[in-house]
Structure 1
Amino acid sequence: MKIGELAEFGGVTAKTVRYYESIGLMAAPQRRANGYREYDEEALDRLRFIRDAQASGLSLAEAGEILRMKDEGESTCAHSRALIDRHLADIDAQIASLLAAKAELTSLARRADHLDPAGCTDPHRCQVLGLDLPAHSKV
């Protein structure tokens, strides 16, 4: 199949296929007599793996490492599991950070609900945030 067909069947663009070739994720294909790239089902399987790995949150480098290991006949199960565990830990940390930010913003919103805007007379403080504001400087 030609590059356009491969890209279509793989759910990416031809430009993406050429990029994957340029960084070594996809092998350089055979060429037809007219110079067109010729891909086989193995290339399509590899392309779909890369696409699916990225959709699962793996980086191109991580997908490439798994492919390299497979190409060399190594088992990838433990390596893939470690990658997944690391990504899960990263997501858990992001969730915790977002929940902490949400709690802080919720607290500030409740505080704002109980403040009288008429009481906001100090030009150097924000009563909602409880913070001193920087002095206005003239440049």
Structure 2
Amino acid sequence: MLIKIGELATRTGATVETIRYYEKEELLPEPTRSQGNYRLYNAAHLERLQFVLHCRTLDMTLDEVRTLLQYRDKPDENCGEVNVLLDEHIDAVETRIEELVQLKRHLLALRQQCATEAPAKSCGILHALADNSCHK
């Protein structure tokens, strides 16, 4: 199976630009080229791209994905570091959730600054944003 980049994009749901970017970041190996200089991808490219995309849907950084790929490429190595990486990622997600909860509180407090429709010049939300009172 050899497919062009457009077909790889269609099969994975990735954009052509994303595929090229992952190649540049060396998350995907360089594909072979056709006589017309088109990139040609094989089943291994498809599988690897699906792995990368799945990791990205879990909000993993490119460095985290790169580390996971290194272990995936060496299946006989101990995966203890994979566990550590995932534990650290879970901690980062928990921190982000806490930050988002705080953000929601700020937005709710801001929303309470203007209960009814009024001329923009008397909008409590706009005034609070201007004087930063929603953070007090």
TM-score using structure 2 length: 0.66
TM-score using structure 1 length: 0.65
Q: Percent identity?
A: 31
Q: Give 1 or 2 for the bigger CA radius of gyration.
A: 1
What is the CA distance between 1:86 and its match in structure 2?
A: 1.1
Aligned residue in 2 for 1:38: 40
Q: Contact between 1:70 and 1:76, CA under 8 Å: does it hold in 2? A: no
Give the unaligned 5+ runs of structure 1: 110-125, 132-139
After superposition, the C-alpha distances for 1:93-128 in whole angstroms (9 at most, x for unaligned) are 33345556739x77xx7xxxxxxxxxxxxxxxx9x8
Change (3 A) 1:10 1:67: same
Aligned residue in 2 for 1:58: 60
Aligned residue in 1 for 2:73: 71
Structure with bigger RCO (C-alpha 8 Å, 6+ apart): 2
- Distance in 1 between residues matched to 2:102 and 2:37, nearest whole Å: 57
Aligned residue in 1 for 2:123: none
Higher-helix-fraction structure: 2
Change (3 A) 1:99 1:80: same
Which 4+ residue blocks in structure 1 deviate beyond 3 angstroms? 72-77, 94-103
Q: What is the identity, as a one-letter code, of the residue corresponding to 1:81?
A: N
* CA RMSD of superposed structures (Å): 3.1
Give the unaligned 5+ runs of structure 2: 113-130
1:98-109 alignment, distance < 5 Å: 98-99=100-101, 102=105
